[in-house]
C-alpha cells in the first residue's frame, strides 16, 4: 500500500460527516459539559443514533488499509471539543487492548458490549496505570492468580486515572501473573459487566477534558472466567516460558495497546490545536487595535504562521505513523512515539499562543481557547509522557538502553 497525502473519496466523506456532527452537536454542548464535569450521555446517544459511536464505526475506520480514517475522524471530533471527544473515543482504548491481545472470538464477544447500542449506549475502560506504576509499567502491582479448580482468574490491585473507570460496562485490566518477569510477566483480562469486587472511585476533578470520566479502580478478589484472559492461557504460557528461558517474546499488554493508539491520540491533540488556531486567526482578523486589525501586526501574523506550520508538521507525522502501523511497517526510529510527542507538544504551544493572541479575552471562559488550553496539557502526560516518548525514540535510533 503506497502512502498518499490526498484523502480519497471515502475518507473525505468521513471527514466532512464527522466535522458536521462536531460543529452542530458537540461544539454547542462543549461549555455546558465542561462546566458540569459529567459524561455527556445525550451526546453519546446522538452519536450512536447516526452510527458515529459503536463497534461498526470503529471497525470501518480501523479497516482502512491506509490507516488514515481513524486519525482523520479523531481530529474532527476533538476539533469539536476535547472533553466530549474523549467521552466518545475513550472506549477505543479498551477496544485497542482487546484487539491487540485478544483472539478473534474475544473481539467479537466483548467489543460490542463496550459500546452498547443507540437505545442504551455504554462505555469501556482500559485500566493499566497504577499509583506506583505510571511510566514504569514494569512496577505494576496488580496481581492475577489462576484458580485451576474453578478455571477462574482472581485479580487484586488498584488502577489509577482510568478513563471511564467504574462506570464502564466492560473493563480491560492489565495485571502481573509472574512478578519476577517484570513487564514480560503481565497479561490483560476482560472484567465482564457487573462482576463483583470491581469498584470505581468518584470522578476525579481534572484540569481539562472535564466531560470525560476519569477515576481510580479497585479490584478486590475479582473473579473472571478463564476465557477472559485475552489471548488465552496457552498463548500466555508459551510467552511466559520464552521469557523465563531468556528468549525474545512479544511486548507486554500495555505497550501493545499504547503502540496501536499513539497516532490516534496524536490526532486528538491535533484537533484541539487546529480549533484554537482557527479561533485565534478569526479573532485576529476582526480585533481592531491602533486603527487596524491585529493580524496586520507582524508579531501576531508570525505567531499564526508558526501555529499553522507546526500543526501541519504534526499531522504529517501522525499520518505517517498511522499508515506505518496499519501496513505493518516497523517503527525503527520510534515513529509512533514521534507522532504523539510532536502533536501533544504542538497542542500545548498552539493553545497557549491562542490565549495570548486573544489577550485578556483569552483568559475568560466566554472564549473557548481557555478550555482548549486546559484540554491540551494532558497530551504531554497520558499514554506516555513527552519524556517517555523521547526515551522510546532515543532507544530506537541509538540501539542503546538509554535511561
Please report where in the chains the cell 473481539 appears, as a residue.
107
Report helix, strand or coil for 40: coil
Q: What's the chain's Rg over C-alpha atoms?
A: 21
Q: Which of 2, 259, 383, 387 is catalytic?
A: 383
Q: Tell me whether residue 180 is exposed, middle or buried, using C-beta atoms within 10 angstroms of its C-beta: 0 to 12, 13 to 18, 19 or more.
A: exposed
Report helix, strand or coil for 365: coil
φ, ψ dihedrals at 248, nearest 5°? -70, 140
Q: Check residue 54 and report its DSSP letter.
A: S
Three-state SS annotation for 191-231: ECCCCCCEEECCCCCCCCCCCCCEEEEEEEEEEEEHHHECC
Please report where in the chains the cell 443507540 appears, as a residue.
118
CA distance 86 to 83: 5
DSSP readout, 58-90?
HHHHHT-TTS-HHHHHHHHHHHH-HHHHHHHHT
Could you tell me if 142 and 177 are in contact, meaning their C-beta atoms sit under 8 angstroms apart? no
CA distance 351 to 310: 12
CA distance 97 to 252: 11
Question: 55 vs 97, 175, 346, CA distance in Å?
Answer: 14, 26, 31
152 given a catalytic annotation: no
The helix/strand count (H/E) of the chain reads as 14, 9
Please list the helix, strand and coil fractions of the chain in percent, rounded to the nearest 5, in that order. 60, 15, 30
174 bridge partner residues: 188
Could you tell me if 265 and 90 are in contact, meaning their C-beta atoms sit under 8 angstroms apart? no
Catalytic residue annotation: 383
Amino acid at each position: 500500500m503506497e502512502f498518499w497525502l490526498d484523502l480519497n473519496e471515502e475518507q473525505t466523506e468521513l471527514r466532512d460527516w464527522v466535522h458536521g456532527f462536531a460543529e452542530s452537536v458537540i461544539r454547542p454542548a462543549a461549555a455546558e459539559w465542561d462546566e458540569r464535569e459529567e459524561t455527556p450521555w445525550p451526546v453519546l446517544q446522538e452519536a450512536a443514533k447516526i452510527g458515529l459511536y459503536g463497534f461498526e464505526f470503529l471497525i470501518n475506520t480501523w479497516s482502512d488499509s491506509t490507516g488514515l480514517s481513524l486519525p482523520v475522524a479523531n481530529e474532527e471530533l476533538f476539533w469539536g471539543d476535547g472533553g466530549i471527544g474523549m467521552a466518545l473515543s475513550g472506549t477505543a482504548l479498551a477496544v485497542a487492548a482487546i484487539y491487540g491481545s485478544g483472539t478473534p472470538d474475544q473481539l467479537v464477544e466483548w467489543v460490542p458490549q463496550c459500546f452498547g447500542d443507540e437505545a442504551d449506549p455504554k462505555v469501556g475502560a482500559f485500566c493499566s496505570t497504577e499509583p506506583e506504576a505510571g511510566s514504569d509499567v514494569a512496577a505494576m502491582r496488580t496481581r492475577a492468580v489462576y484458580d485451576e479448580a474453578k478455571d477462574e482468574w482472581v485479580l487484586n490491585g488498584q488502577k489509577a486515572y482510568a478513563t471511564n473507570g467504574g462506570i464502564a460496562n466492560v473493563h480491560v485490566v492489565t495485571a502481573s501473573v509472574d512478578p519476577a518477569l517484570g513487564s514480560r510477566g503481565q497479561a490483560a483480562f476482560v472484567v465482564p459487566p457487573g462482576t463483583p469486587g470491581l469498584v470505581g472511585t468518584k470522578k476525579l476533578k481534572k484540569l481539562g477534558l472535564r466531560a470525560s470520566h476519569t477515576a481510580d479502580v479497585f479490584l478486590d478478589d475479582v473473579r473472571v472466567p478463564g476465557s477472559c484472559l485475552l489471548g488465552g492461557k496457552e498463548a500466555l504460557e508459551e510467552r511466559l516460558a520464552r521469557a523465563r528461558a531468556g528468549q525474545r517474546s512479544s511486548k507486554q499488554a500495555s505497550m501493545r495497546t499504547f503502540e496501536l493508539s499513539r497516532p490516534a491520540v496524536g490526532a486528538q491533540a491535533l484537533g484541539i490545536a487546529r480549533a484554537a488556531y482557527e479561533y485565534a486567526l478569526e479573532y485576529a482578523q476582526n480585533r481592531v487595535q491602533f486603527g487596524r486589525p491585529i493580524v496586520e501586526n507582524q508579531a501576531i501574523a508570525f505567531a499564526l504562521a508558526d501555529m499553522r506550520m507546526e500543526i501541519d508538521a504534526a499531522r504529517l507525522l501522525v499520518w505517517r505513523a498511522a499508515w506505518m502501523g496499519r501496513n505493518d511497517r516497523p517503527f525503527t526510529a520510534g515513529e509512533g512515539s514521534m507522532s504523539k510527542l510532536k502533536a501533544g507538544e504542538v497542542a500545548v504551544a498552539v493553545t497557549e499562543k491562542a490565549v495570548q493572541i486573544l489577550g485578556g479575552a483569552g483568559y475568560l471562559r466566554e472564549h473557548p481557547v481557555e478550555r482548549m488550553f486546559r484540554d491540551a496539557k494532558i497530551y504531554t502526560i497520558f499514554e506516555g509522557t513527552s519524556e517517555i516518548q523521547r526515551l522510546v525514540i532515543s532507544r530506537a535510533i541509538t540501539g542503546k538502553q538509554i535511561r
